[in-house]
Structure 1
Amino acid sequence: MYPTLGDLTGTSLPIGTHEFFVALGVVVALVVLGFQLVRTGAGRDERMLAIIAGALIGGAVFMRLGTWLQDVDLRANASLAEQWLYGNRSILGGLVGAWLGVHLAKRLTGYRTRTGDLFVPAVALGMAVGRVGCHLTELPGTVSSLGVGPVLDVPTAERLGAVAGVALHPSLLYEVAFHTIAFGVIVWSLARHRLPQGETFVLYIASYAIFRFLVEFVRGNEVVWWGLTRPQLFLAVAIPLVLARIAWQAHRGVYQRQEWHVAQAIEEQVR
């Protein structure tokens, strides 16, 4: 585990590993988003600045507060101030907050065009980078039956509540791999206009939700109810909703119409 990367040059201020990679992930995401805005021409609309701000603010707030509700007895939870200063960060909370922030900004500015395709490659690559910091500072996972994975020394294992001296699942690296592969698939799909506008983002969220639900079994997070962790309980509600939305779009023939439009565009180019 590497809680810090060193000190700032000329000072004794430590550079937090997790904070560094989260910040790097945000920078990478903004660069990718900037490329998307230039490529599509969406950046010429000044309202896009408000939408990006909504995503960043909403993501930051919900990432901090997303793990606040730990107990049904509200008195047993930390105060909002304590949660903001010392609470765990939640990737799922950050995604929900960013989504809400975008929709609120679009409502306030009157922007009606779907923006999922602009954000989705940035989200995927930013998540891949940010998760590296999580891997270097957090509990890797449960004991690996394959005997391959990071091994913690006794002090680190005691601090993280893990087993020392045995290989653990590198569950956070599994997420890095997922988001990296997803980024490649997303870029390929967007370049070929394989899906209707905005649907790439929905399918990415659905696939990540399912992947995250499954990987939670080797994450080592606290099991709270029916053998499931808190993220799994949230996803058990969210996944059916997202899949129902995809099924409804498919029932309406949205994806078939997109295939027809792509085929028509190719035919026109050949002519």
Structure 2
Amino acid sequence: MLQYPNIDPIALQIGPIAVHWYGLMYLIGFALVWLLGRWRINQGKTDLTLRDLEDIIFYSVLGVVIGGRLGYVFFYKPDEYLAHPIEILYLWQGGMSFHGGLIGVLVVLFLFARKRQKTFLEIGDFIAPLIPLGLAAGRMGNFINGELWGRPTTLPWGMVFPQTGDGIPRHPSQLYEMGLEGFALFALLWWFARKPRPIGQISAVFLMGYGTFRFLVEFTRAPDYFLGLLAGGLSMGQLLSLPMIAIGAVIFYWSAKKSSHAPSP
């Protein structure tokens, strides 16, 4: 049994200004996206420019925040927030959804693709390999905050999170997610994208890979207390991951059928 290290959520305090680890992890995540994207541009993996990448990142930040918040509102607590809509703006109280943030980013990429007269999947194929390390940074932020802990376990690496107040060892599911949705997915996509692929396949592998890893990790992650387990004994995270896997599979199959088209970078 391990004890949660009780990390101070504030990374830096300068007078009244406090820099939280969670916010810092978001900045690190977007910085990693920029560095990896710049490398892919310099390697000729795309005809997008560095300015295009910076525009995508800037608007994706808005997509993550707006989409992530609205996703949490409508996927997890629609009745509560519809009864008190002003609280949707209370971002400092927490409550973000990855799947909502993904939808927000997809909207941004769709609009950007139209502006640059490219297909949505072309832009998606460039961006997909850049995302997982940013996700890994976000999951580390969850761990530092001592939130989104796992279900009870008797395994030797079970961790006691004081935030639960019950003293029960639990799966450090945030670290599982960091390893699978972050590092493992990054390795898979970076390997897959090393060669030219039919347009859409890199995006498809991201959707299938993330959806599968998230679905599996959710078996160790404690379900949201206000929802519990839903249809078929699955969590909301699992139910939202299933469409990702299905859509990814459809795109991959469609792309393979259209493989005579020009490959993505």
Q: Same fold (TM over 0.5)?
A: yes
The change in CA–CA distance for 1:142 and 1:15 in structure 2 (over 3 A counts) is: same
Q: Which AA in structure 2 matches 1:7?
A: L
Instruction: For 1:245-256, list aligned pairs within 5 A.
Output: 245-250=251-256, 252=257, 254=259
Closer, same or farther in 2 for the Cα pair 1:34/1:12, shift >3 Å? same
The code of the aligned residue for 1:233 comes to L
Query: Who is 2:3 aligned against?
Result: none
Following superposition, the deviation at residue 133 of structure 1 comes to 0.8
Report the Cα offset of residue 180 of structure 1: 0.8
1:22 equivalenced with 2:30 (yes/no)? no
Instruction: Indicate conservation of the 8 Å contact 2:143/2:174, yes or no.
Output: yes
Residue of structure 2 equivalent to 1:202 = 204
CA contact (8 A) 1:143 1:169 kept: yes
Among 159, 169, 175, the residue aligned to 1:150: 159
Moved more, 133-142 or 179-188: 179-188
Equivalence map 1:59-70=2 (5 Å): 59-69=64-74, 70=76
Aligned ranges 1:37-56 → 2 under 5 Å? 37-40=41-44, 42-44=47-49, 49-56=54-61
CA positional deviation for 1:235: 2.4
Greater Rg by CA: 1
- Distance in 2 between residues matched to 1:34 and 1:117, nearest whole Å: 15
Using the aligned pairs only, state the percent identity: 23
In structure 2, how many angstroms separate the alpha carbons of the residues matched to 1:104 and 1:209?
Answer: 24
**Aligned letter for 1:79?**
I
Compute the displacement of 1:45 (Å): 7.9
Corresponding residue to 1:244 among 227, 250, 255: 250
| Distance across 1 between alignment mates of 2:112 and 2:200 | 17
Which stretches in structure 1 are left out of the alignment for 5+ residues?
Answer: 262-271
1:102 Cα offset (Å)? 0.6
Could you tell me which residue of structure 2 aligns to residue 79 of structure 1? 86
For normalisation by structure 2, the TM-score amounts to 0.80
Q: Secondary structure at the match of 2:109?
A: helix
Give 1:149 deviation, angstroms.
2.6
Question: Do the aligned partners of 2:200 and 2:251 also contact (CA within 8 Å) in 1?
Answer: no
CA distance in 1, matches of 2:97, 2:37: 22
- What TM-score, normalized by structure 1, do the two folds share? 0.78
Alignment CA distance shift 1:245-1:124 (3 Å): same
Which one scores higher on RCO, CA 8 angstroms, separation ≥ 6? 2
Aligned residues between the structures:
247
Gaps of 5+ in 2: 1-5
CA distance in 2, matches of 1:245, 1:50: 26
Q: Which of 17, 20, 25 is matched with 1:13 structurally?
A: 17
Kept in 2: contact 1:22–1:130 (CA 8 A)? yes
Deviation at 1:216, TM superposition (A): 1.3
Is the contact made by 1:71 and 1:77 (CA closer than 8 Å) also made in structure 2?
A: no
How far, CA to CA, are the matches of 2:143 and 2:35 in structure 1? 23
The root-mean-square deviation of aligned C-alpha atoms, in Å, is 2.8
Matches for 1:86-97 after TM superposition, within 5 Å: 86-97=93-104
Instruction: Give the aligned partner of residue 194 of structure 2.
Output: 191
Instruction: Name 1:141's counterpart in structure 2.
Output: 150
Distance 1:72 1:90 in 2: 13
CA distance in 1, matches of 2:176, 2:212: 13
Q: Secondary structure at the match of 1:111?
A: coil
CA distance in 2, matches of 1:82, 1:17: 22
Residue 136 of structure 2 corresponds to: 128
Supply the AA of the counterpart residue of 1:35. W
Contact (CA 8 Å) 1:65, 1:84: kept in 2 or not? no
> What is the CA distance between 1:173 and its match in structure 2?
0.9
Contact 1:147 1:167 in 2 (8 A): no
